[in-house]
Structures are given as structure tokens and as C-alpha cells.
Structure 1
Amino acid sequence: MHCYLGIDIGTTAVKAAAIGLDGSLLKSSEVMIETIRPRPGWSEQNPGAWVEAAHFCIAKIAEGLPARLNNVLAIGFSGQMHGLIALGADNCPLRNAILWNDDRALAEAEYLNRAAPDLGATLGVPATPSFLAPKWMWLAKHEPEVAARTSKIVFPKDYVRMMFTGDISTDVVDASGGWLLDQTTRSWSDRALGLCNLSANLLPKLYESTTVVGTVSPSASARFSLPQGVPVVAGAGDAAAGCVGLRMVRPGQGFINLGTSAQIFITSDRHEPSPAEMIHSFSHALPERWFRMAALLNGASTLGWLASILSETPAKLASEAASAWSAETPLFLPYLSGERTPHNDPHARGVFFGLSSANERADLAAATLDGVALALRDAFEALARSGSVSSVMGATGGGTRDKFWLSLIASSLNLPIEVYGDAASGAAVGAALLARAASFPLDDLPPLSVSDRIEPNPEMSEILNDRYSRFTKLYATTATNRADSSR
């Protein structure tokens, strides 16, 4: 009757998953959370909302598995990467968390790349506004009173874990997302800290993801109805945790995460930097493992954006898109939040191109799914230029629930995509598996069974090849126009 518990602090939802001793999913739960946008381009969340959502998720699992949670063996955490939470001397947040999809620190990121153009290879990728380091520089400049009162800086999942254990620490995956970790030595980079004028004393202790960093405290036991003293591991950033959830931890294995943002992820046994392609080469959640990742800022959130405008559900729009998509579907650049791989262009913006009075909302939905599929193709080609890629891609994230969207992606990449049971809970399951890995190696688990395999459709691939050519030209044209208008 024992289990392991994983908690994932996502951008749009907090999820929890309980797994058995054999790694099988027993039960999962999730609750949506609100994003606060004080200004255009800014993105914040209340850290307390994550804790309350985690509480709710645990309670939902306990309703179905009360005996299991009374015998939980260990707990792991995963979460959205790059976010900055400034803690005061009492370990309480001094302001809302600044999230990964916040672009206020653009000037600071540009400064870091000018000041140290070679440092991206050491830290895994050139600086962007998403990362914690430029966010700290922005905070020190624009909110100096907050910076002066800051006692510690933590990432999102680490704040929630602190509420369970009292410890202040992080793992090498989340640290990679700070633009502060030397990827070869898996330690804080003194050079990066110096450039950011950031004291190492403000950073959390650094651990490998499967290291036990604390236990459930008496106060957390009472608050979350969990046994006191349960071991808690460091956990990992959500991209790596999702990879572990799919059990893709061997070199060469790869998957696509279609969540709020999107990533294409390849496991490696060495650090392989490719900063010119904006490929992230980061430490993995297992020792002596790294990963190469194409990071797209706009994934399933694009469909959510369209759904909110049209007062419809994303699932309904995706269903309509499947019937409407064709070679004549309008093009869509999905860069609602700028873009990272392969363009590193925070100023990029979304564009519908080719609209006519005959188009209806289903055409807009089809264009939105199509645009994400083509952006993934753009990122995949950059990944392929930087090294080897997998011949079959796994899939995880909420967007994987829609089979037509996966068919578009498979046909765009011209690669089969395998979907696994409960893939949408991948990062939370991965967090639970990292908790299990503190005692048992992941290699003793069998591969996940494939619930669906999406093969490329030759007719769709032919259409998408033509659309991809026009898609890349459309981005180039809009980039040129933006450059001309700024002169």
C-alpha cells in the first residue's frame, strides 16, 4: 500500500501524481492557477497560490488513495523553470514571482550577451529575458528596495518544496535555467555571478535531482495531511522531469512537450553546447546526463489565447480545426510571447496571414495548430543542425490530448510520434520517479507502453513542406519590417 508522490508547479496548473512501487500511475489531480499581467510583456504569479493548489491536489489524491498517502515513501517536485522568487529574512516572498514568459529584463539579457559573448557555451545557451540572472539585474535596478531586503532567491518548485521541508535548495536542472550554472562542472559559475553582481550567498544550496534534501516537517504534516518525516528529494525543472516521466533517460532518446510553452528534448551523455542555434544544453535530472533542448515560448497557450478571445473551449476549437485544415488555411506565426529557438527574438509577435472574408473561427483554430506545428519544425531543424536527433519522438503535455494536433506535428517533422498513457501528467510522474530514484535506479523500470503511435501523413507532409517554406519567409519579412520601423 506504499506510493511515491510527485508535485509539478506548472504555469497554468499545479498537478500531483501518486505512483506505485513499480512506477505505475495510481492517481493524478490538477488545479488551474492564475497569471497576473501588470503590464504588457510582464508575467507574474502569487507563490502562495502554488502552495494552496498543491494542497488541493494532494487532498484530491487522498480522497481516492487515503491508505496510500498515509504510506508515502518519498516526495519529489518539478516546476516551471527560470522564475524568480525573492525571499525576505523570514523566507516569505517580497513580491510576486516573475515568470519565465516575462520579457521585462530584455535590456539586461542583451547586456550579458554583449559583455560575455562566449559565456553561453559554458552556461548552456545565450542569455534571454526568461532567465533568472537578467531578472535579478532588472530587480536590482528597478526595485532596489526589494533587492536590498532579499535574503534568498529561489525557483518556483523550490519555494513550494520549502513549504514542505523548510530547506532552501535547488537542483542542477533548475539552476541551469538561471543562466548561472557551469554545465561542465555542474556548479555555480563565479563569472556569471560577477557579471550579474549577484552574491552566491543569495543562491540556494545546489544538489543533483535525486538527492534527499529534507523531510516533511511537523507543520507541513499537519497542513498537507502527509506523514511527518517523509524524505523529499530536490526534484527537477519541468522539462527534465517530463523526460524522466516518459523514462527517456538514455542518450539519444527524445520527446516533445506540448504544454503552455513547447520543447523538443534529446538526452545526452555529455554537454554539447550550440549557442548559435539557441539550443539549450543543460544538466539533466540524473547524474552524468545532460540534454539538448529546443525551447519554444508558445505552445498550447496559443490555442488557449484564441479560445479566450472566442469564448470557447480549446478542445472544441481543436475539434473544429481538424475539419477545417487544408493547404488554403491561413498562415499563423505563433509568437505571442516572442520566441526563443531558433530566433532568440523577444520582439517577435503573432501574425495571421492570408485571411479573407470567407474564413471562419475554425480556420483560425486550424491556423493556430498549424502554426505551432511549423514552429516546432523550425526548432527541430535547428536541433538537427546542432547534433543527432531521435528517429521517433515521444510526446507529453496537455496538448497531446488532441490527436489531430499530433498528426500535424508528426507530418511537419516527418517523424512518428509515440504517446504514452497519462502523458499529460508527465512532469508530475517524473517528479515522483525522481523520489523513487533516491532508492532505486530508473533502469529497473520497464519502458512505458505506447497508447498511440502517430505516423506522418504523406499528403499532409507535402502540404506542410510548402507551408513551412512560406512560414519561414513570413517570419523573415515581419522581422525585417520591425527592424525598418524601429529606425
Structure 2
Amino acid sequence: MAGDYVIGVDSSTTAAKAVVWNPAGLAVSSARSTFELSRPRPGWGEQNAEDWWAATAAAVRRAVQTVDASRVGALCVTHQRETFVCLDAAGNPLRPALLWLDGRAVREVEEHGTAEVHRITGKPPNPTPAWYKLLWLARHEPETVARTGKVVDVQGFLVHRLTGEWATSWASADPLGLVDMTTCDYDDGLLAAAGLRREQLGELRPPGTVLGRVADDVARELGLPRGLPVVAGVGDGQAAQLGTGVTASGRAYLNLGTGVVSGTYSETYSYGAQYRTLFAAVPGAYALETFIGGGTYNLSWFVEKFSGLDSRALGLELTPEQILETAAAQLPPGADGLLLLPYWAGALTPYWDHHARGVLVGLTGSHGKSHVYRALLEGIAYEQRLLTDGAEAVLQEPVSTLVALGGGSRSRVWCQILADVMRRRVDVVREAESTCLGAGMLAAAAVGVHDSVPAAAEAMSATAGSYEPDAERCAAYDRLYAVYRDIYPAMRALFPRLAEASRSEASRSEASRSEASRSEASR
């Protein structure tokens, strides 16, 4: 049947993935192409925007090679949200793109991160939104700003390469921190502060509408049908929410990835320190999102730095994580009195404290590797309970179910811990590429494969298992959680003191090394 397939493209931080979906949300074909991430200085993150297009083109071309391309009815892009690139008048990058994870704009946050900016954008002051990095560019690279013809998000860049149109969705642009969340339009005051004019930005359209059609030469290059509609997508977090079927209150998605991102659905706009607010994939609705900077990253860190496990030498067809998880599963809730604060990458929601760091509380000589590993799993679960409870206060109804995706969702032990700590059922998605699936749902709704975005979500999403909270373990975790939630407030004042002491010591060490080098050179 012509036009019943759709393509979802996910241009993430490390790769472009293209998946061809059928109307039931099953992958017919897929391909992936990687690209590099540059860290020119500590805390910085940049990319060559041309790599986004090269990787996307390669992934799409390979994905459609094994299907009947005439059945492809639309394409939709999801992407790494706050990332942006400055282009010249011809649409060529003037400098490397600044990524969502780039933290260089600390001073700009301190100077410009006001309560009014939070109200307008729904984003608590922190270096992630592009607006603060645009202010950084105005201060440190005024020549770049002066030559800028367009500032675009990742979708805006790819849509232009596909169609020639300068357009994006308001749900793709709003993570940049330039959009008024009550009007779905750019805020003139924020634009003026960054030295930008409206014509330098892509036109904003509702998610799920057609932005343009693939140009003939691009269609020939990628093996796509001539005039294929390109549909307005959303950021990867909102796409994950849609791809997991969360289109109403009462459920939240939980992405157990490198960081842990969770989103609840709201039909009304609100803002608060407990969450950041974004436009949902369903026009007129909002996603209230929480974020823990350390998720599977924390687990990988422990395995790499401290586990000392070589499963190959043991002759086991298991990863070190699986071995540690098996050992941790033998321990009782609370890891025999060990609690962990998972702030390896600082604290985001609800504290927004970049000085915060990880903490182990309760160590004794009886604790071993399995105790620390279980404390890692439980610490992230405690933190997610804190965040979900905070966001839940403004929702139309409580969150009763979490829909888990990402690498961590494959851990039975962790999913059960999450259910017990959070006192909520945890469902696990059928489709691993749920973010790409969310883009496919928008494409399917736009061209009539399904009647609406919610209808597409209902038809194309599914779960593959669930975990119910256990009453006895829940009671034990309630007692432990009451202690956990007091750890950060008790230590809050110590974190900046530690940071200052560390900076002072680092400065003295650097001065000593410089003096030693000068002495050596003079001999």
C-alpha cells in the first residue's frame, strides 16, 4: 500500500539513526551512522554541523535500500534539542555547533538567569539552553554574531538540507530558550538580548505539520520518493514521551540512559524548579521534564574504575554490569545501610546546583562492590522519586505508571528497585528506539496513516513487560528515602566550599609546575 510506511530520523549527540516504521509501530528497516563530538576545553562540547547531514543522509539511504521506497509516505526528524549552529547567509556553518551538554555559559547564567526568563521559557536558569550560550558568543565571539545569517536547531538545519525551507517546530525550538511558552512564538526581549532578529531564525510551526517536501536532487541521492513530505518533529525528550505512548496524565516516561530523563504530560502551562517545561509533541500540551545527570554513566564509571571484573577471564557470557547486578540482587533494600547521592554531574532538577557532587553515606568495613553497585541503583531511584513527586504536584492526576526505555530498562533488578522505591508500576517499552518511533508517529499522523497524533501513539506503541511494587519492600524504602532526601540539604553548603578549595589547590599546583618549568629552562 503506497504511503503506509514512515521514516523517523533521530539525530542524537553521537549518531543519526533512521528507522522505517509500519502502521503498527514495528521497524521494517533501520540504519545508523556515527559522528564525532569535540571537547576543545573542559566543560565544552562542539560538533561539525555538516556531520549531522552526512550521517543523516547515509542512515536514510541505507534504511530505504531494503524496503519498497514507494511505500514511504513521510519523514520526520527528532534531535538533540538545545544544540544549535550559527550559519552564514548561504547556510554554511560559521563555527562548530554548540551542544546541549556544553557548560561554558556559567557567567551568563549568573548574570541573566532571572525569574522572568524562567517564567517566559519554562527553563530554570542553567547553562543548557542555547540562549545563555548565545550571550556567551556575543561576549567572546562578536565577529561570529555579526556574520550570522541564521541560528538553527538540529532539525532546522536538516530540514533546510532536505527541503530548502528555513522552518522548525515550536517544540524543537523551545529548548533553545528563545520561545515564550504561552504564545508558541519567539520572545522579542530574549532575541534582543542575544543580538538576534526574527529573520535569523527558522519559522515556527506546530509539531506534526508538513514543513516542506524533499527536493528532487536530494530524493534521488537518498532513494526517497519525489516530493516526500517532511514533517515537523520535536526534541528527543518529547519524542521519547510520544514514542512510549504518554499522551495523557497519569503516566510518565523514564529514559534510563547516560542521564536519566523523565517526562510527565500536562494540558496546562506551569513552571517550577522541580522540572523544566517543554512543548509536548501533541500541540497545545506540555511536557514537564526532570533530569538526573548521572544514570548509566554512573554505573559504567563504577565498573570501569573500581569493579576489577573481567568476565572473559572468568569464562562467562556476561557483562561486568550483569555480574554486579546478580550480586546486588542478593542484598536487602538499602544495601545494608549504604545510601548514595548520584550527583556525578552536579544536581539539575530540583536544586540546579553545579557544585553538587556524589556522596556515599554509611560506609563500613562490611561493605563491598555489590553494596556500592546496589546503592548506585537505589540512589538514582530515590532521586527519581524526589523529582517525580515534585512534578506531580502540578499535574491533573498523580503518576501511577512509569514507562521505561533506554539501556537501563533492560535491567530487571533496577526496574524492580524503581517500582519499589517509587511505589509505582514500571512498564518496559517493546521498541528500543522509542525516540525514533515518536518521530515516526508524528509523520504517520501528518499524512493520514493515523487520524491524529494521540491515535498514532496508541496504535504504534506497546510494552513488553511490567514490574509491580512490593508492599514490604516499599515500606523499607520509605524509611530509607526519608533519610536520603535530607542528605543534599545537609551538605548543600559544603559543595561550594569544596569547589573553592579545589580550585585554590589546583591554582597552587599549576603555579608550582610553572615555576619548576621556568627553573628547568633557565639551567
TM-score above 0.5, yes or no: yes
Pair 1:71 & 2:75 matched: no
Deviation string for 1:325-366 (max 9, x for gaps)?
532364333223222211111222233445566655544433
Matched residue type, 1:416: R
1:201 corresponding residue in structure 2: 199
Shift in CA distance, 184/152, structure 1 to aligned 2, threshold 3 Å: same
Question: Using the alignment, how far apart are the partners of 2:39 and 2:367 within structure 1?
Answer: 31
Matched residue type, 1:99: L
Structure 1, gaps ≥5 residues long: none
Matched residue type, 1:188: Y
Q: Residue 493 of structure 2 is aligned with which of 476, 480, 484?
A: 480
1:455 corresponding residue in structure 2: 468
Deviation of residue 86 (structure 1)? 1.4
2:424 corresponding residue in structure 1: 415
SS of the equivalent of 1:39 reads: coil
1:258 and 1:299 in contact (8 A); partners too: yes
Question: Using the alignment, how far apart are the partners of 1:52 and 1:99 within structure 2?
Answer: 18
Question: Using the alignment, how far apart are the partners of 1:336 and 1:409 within structure 2?
Answer: 19
Alignment of 1:236-247 (within 5 A): 236-247=234-245
Matched residue type, 1:148: A
Q: CA RMSD in A?
A: 2.7
Deviation string for 1:168-198 (max 9, x for gaps)?
2221112221122111111111222233333
Question: Using the alignment, how far apart are the partners of 2:8 and 2:203 within structure 1?
Answer: 21
SS of the equivalent of 1:133 reads: helix
Shift in CA distance, 470/175, structure 1 to aligned 2, threshold 3 Å: same
Q: Residue 328 of structure 1 is aligned with which of 315, 335, 353?
A: 335
1:419 and 1:452 in contact (8 A); partners too: yes
Question: Using the alignment, how far apart are the partners of 1:208 and 1:21 within structure 2?
Answer: 22
Moved more, 134-143 or 371-380: 371-380
Pair 1:400 & 2:397 matched: no
Deviation of residue 43 (structure 1)? 2.2
1:345 corresponding residue in structure 2: 353
Shift in CA distance, 479/292, structure 1 to aligned 2, threshold 3 Å: same
Shift in CA distance, 400/328, structure 1 to aligned 2, threshold 3 Å: closer
2:244 and 2:462 in contact (8 A); partners too: no
Shift in CA distance, 355/51, structure 1 to aligned 2, threshold 3 Å: farther
Matched residue type, 2:433: S
Structure showing greater radius of gyration is: 2
Matched residue type, 1:401: R
Shift in CA distance, 469/251, structure 1 to aligned 2, threshold 3 Å: closer
Pair 1:175 & 2:176 matched: no
2:75 and 2:228 in contact (8 A); partners too: yes
Deviation string for 1:89-139 (max 9, x for gaps)?
23222222222222111221222224xx23322321323210010010011
1:317 corresponding residue in structure 2: 321
2:208 and 2:453 in contact (8 A); partners too: no
Pair 1:426 & 2:434 matched: yes
Question: Using the alignment, how far apart are the partners of 2:360 and 2:93 within structure 1?
Answer: 40
1:288 corresponding residue in structure 2: 284
1:39 corresponding residue in structure 2: 41
1:215 and 1:231 in contact (8 A); partners too: yes
1:100 corresponding residue in structure 2: 100
Moved more, 184-193 or 355-364: 355-364
Deviation string for 1:197-228 (max 9, x for gaps)?
33223221111111111222234224433233
Deviation of residue 244 (structure 1)? 1.7
Matched residue type, 2:335: E
1:156 corresponding residue in structure 2: 154
Deviation of residue 429 (structure 1)? 0.6
Pair 1:118 & 2:116 matched: yes
Deviation of residue 303 (structure 1)? 2.8
TM-score, structure 1 as length reference? 0.89
Deviation of residue 25 (structure 1)? 3.2
Q: Residue 187 of structure 2 is aligned with which of 189, 200, 213?
A: 189
Deviation string for 1:137-158 (max 9, x for gaps)?
0111122222222211111233
Question: Using the alignment, how far apart are the partners of 2:18 and 2:304 within structure 1?
Answer: 26
SS of the equivalent of 1:294 reads: strand
Deviation string for 1:386-415 (max 9, x for gaps)?
334321122223322222222222222110
Question: Using the alignment, how far apart are the partners of 1:354 and 1:37 within structure 2?
Answer: 36
Question: Using the alignment, how far apart are the partners of 1:40 and 1:356 within structure 2?
Answer: 34
Question: Using the alignment, how far apart are the partners of 1:404 and 1:210 within structure 2?
Answer: 37
Pair 1:381 & 2:368 matched: no
2:335 and 2:372 in contact (8 A); partners too: no
Pair 1:166 & 2:167 matched: no
Structure 1 vs Structure 2: percent identity of aligned residues?
28
1:302 corresponding residue in structure 2: 298
Question: Using the alignment, how far apart are the partners of 1:270 and 1:81 within structure 2?
Answer: 22
Question: Using the alignment, how far apart are the partners of 1:123 and 1:130 within structure 2?
Answer: 13
Shift in CA distance, 389/168, structure 1 to aligned 2, threshold 3 Å: farther
1:369 corresponding residue in structure 2: 377
1:252 and 1:268 in contact (8 A); partners too: no
1:209 and 1:285 in contact (8 A); partners too: yes
Q: Residue 471 of structure 1 is aligned with which of 484, 487, 492?
A: 484
Aligned residues: 480
1:45 and 1:97 in contact (8 A); partners too: yes
Question: Using the alignment, how far apart are the partners of 2:480 and 2:55 within structure 1?
Answer: 41
Question: Using the alignment, how far apart are the partners of 1:123 and 1:240 within structure 2?
Answer: 16
TM-score, structure 2 as length reference? 0.84
Question: Using the alignment, how far apart are the partners of 1:357 and 1:47 within structure 2?
Answer: 51
Pair 1:274 & 2:278 matched: no
Question: Using the alignment, how far apart are the partners of 2:149 and 2:408 within structure 1?
Answer: 38
